[in-house]
Amino acid sequence: MKLSMPLMYSGNPRDAADQVSALEKAGLDTVWVAEAYGFDAPTLMGYLAARTETVEIGSGILNIYSRTPSTLLQTAAGLDNVSGGRAILGLGASGPQVIEGFHGVPYSKPLARTAEVIDIVRRGLKRERLENDGIIKLPLTKEDGGVTGLGKPLKLLTHPERDSIPIWVAALGVKSVEQTAAIADGWIPILFHPEKAHLVWGEALAAGAARRSDDLGPLQINAGGMVAIGEGPETKALLDLARPIFALYVGGMGAKGKNFYNDVAVSYGYEQEAEQIQELYLSGKKKEAEALIPTEWLEAANLVGPPSYVRERIEAFREAGVTHLNLTPATDDPAATIAQVKEWVS
């Protein structure tokens, strides 16, 4: 099992990036750089490439709408070059609130678009000429509204560091998870409950695996949560630090009927809580919404408690198929925490 960590994108991410070098030395294998609607991820990923030597640097995630497939290809190839072959291209459909509300781009056909983007990026990295007859038509013709006037499709001008870069997909919906299991190198779920994940995605993962190419190897899974190792109630109380982010996703990431994270809460069996959390959050009562996040969920999705308990949670994630344990240290010495967990997962 590898160790990964999300780089926080709120505030000044440069401050968080300054820690990555120390965390790398402590045993961190992968750092994920989020984008959402804050700073762009590739700029920070390039900065990290210059500050580190061995850690893999993944976009977690770049959405599939606001950049063309060829731009995503160029970005992946460029980041892989400056990092010396350490880039991971994390992709996702995001949601209507970000895609339409922030980027002003129609949110349509996420499954088909995801599949085509992955196909185009993979072919592009092999420097094949980019032609496509699906949703994303390449090259654009004058009839399609294109302005290039090119007589033939183009291939990537420069030679990539690698002709294959790992492509991971953030997915929650059953159909999206099935497709991810079929065509992606890795899967990035969120708010992951190890003991209940199979109830939500087990059939989808199995169906996707059944049509997965042997060339891809086993599906990698990146999931985890806050980590804090210690005895006493003060350590346990740190779980409350996770309540705002859970409430944000379950209650505030989308309107009613259009919140994928709320759907996950319902699938876990928290239907009543999910409805109440959304009602409270959307009406501005965020603290009340946070209080309703089930403690059972917080305990399962995070690794907070005595060493023996944290080790039990590590094994629960491992048994759920997680290959990359995604940790957010809630301690005064994050590097020491990562080093300790590294010993346990090795």
Domain boundaries, the chain: 2-227+303-345, 231-302
CA 121 from chain centre, in angstroms, equals 18
**Per residue in 169-227, pLDDT tens?**
999 999 999 999 999 999 999 999 999 999 999 999 999 999 999 999 999 999 999 99
SS3 27: coil
Q: What is the mean pLDDT of residues 60-72?
A: 96
> Is the CB of residue 293 less than 8 Å from the CB of residue 277?
yes
Residue identified by tokens 């350590």 is 235
* pLDDT at 191 (0 to 100): 97
Question: What does the DSSP assignment read for 188-246?
Answer: E-SS--TTTHHHHHHHHHHHHHHT--GGG-SPEEEE--EEEE-SSHHHHGGGGGGHHHH
Beta-sheet pairing, 324-326 with 87-92:
unpaired
* pLDDT at 134 (0 to 100): 73
Q: What is the mean pLDDT of residues 96-115?
A: 93
pLDDT over threshold 50, residue 144: no
Structural tokens at position 223: 């999931």
Q: What is the mean pLDDT of residues 9-29?
A: 87
* pLDDT at 131 (0 to 100): 77
pTM of this structure: 0.93
> Is the CB of residue 300 less than 8 Å from the CB of residue 194?
yes
Judged by average pLDDT, the poorest of 45-59, 77-91, 254-268 is 254-268
**Per residue in 232-262, pLDDT tens?**
899 999 999 999 999 999 999 888 888 999 9
> Is the CB of residue 289 less than 8 Å from the CB of residue 283?
no
Q: Which fold has domain 2-227+303-345?
A: TIM Barrel (3.20.20)
Q: How many residues does the chain have?
A: 346
* pLDDT at 141 (0 to 100): 47
Q: What is the mean pLDDT of residues 144-168?
A: 76
**Per residue in 311-336, pLDDT tens?**
999 999 999 999 999 999 999 999 99
Give φ, ψ of 167 to 5 degrees. Answer: -115, 115
Q: What is the mean pLDDT of residues 29-39?
A: 93
> Is the CB of residue 80 less than 8 Å from the CB of residue 87?
yes
Using CA atoms, how far residue 232 sits from 44, 94, 235, 297, 338, in Å, is 37, 39, 6, 20, 20
DSSP symbol at 251 = I
* pLDDT at 15 (0 to 100): 83
Alpha helix locations (H) across the chain? 13-26, 41-51, 69-82, 96-99, 110-125, 174-183, 197-210, 233-236, 243-247, 260-267, 271-282, 286-291, 295-301, 307-319, 334-345
* pLDDT at 137 (0 to 100): 60
pLDDT over threshold 50, residue 145: no
pLDDT above 70: percentage of residues in the chain = 95
Average pLDDT, the chain: 93
In terms of pLDDT, which residue wins out, 144 or 22? 22
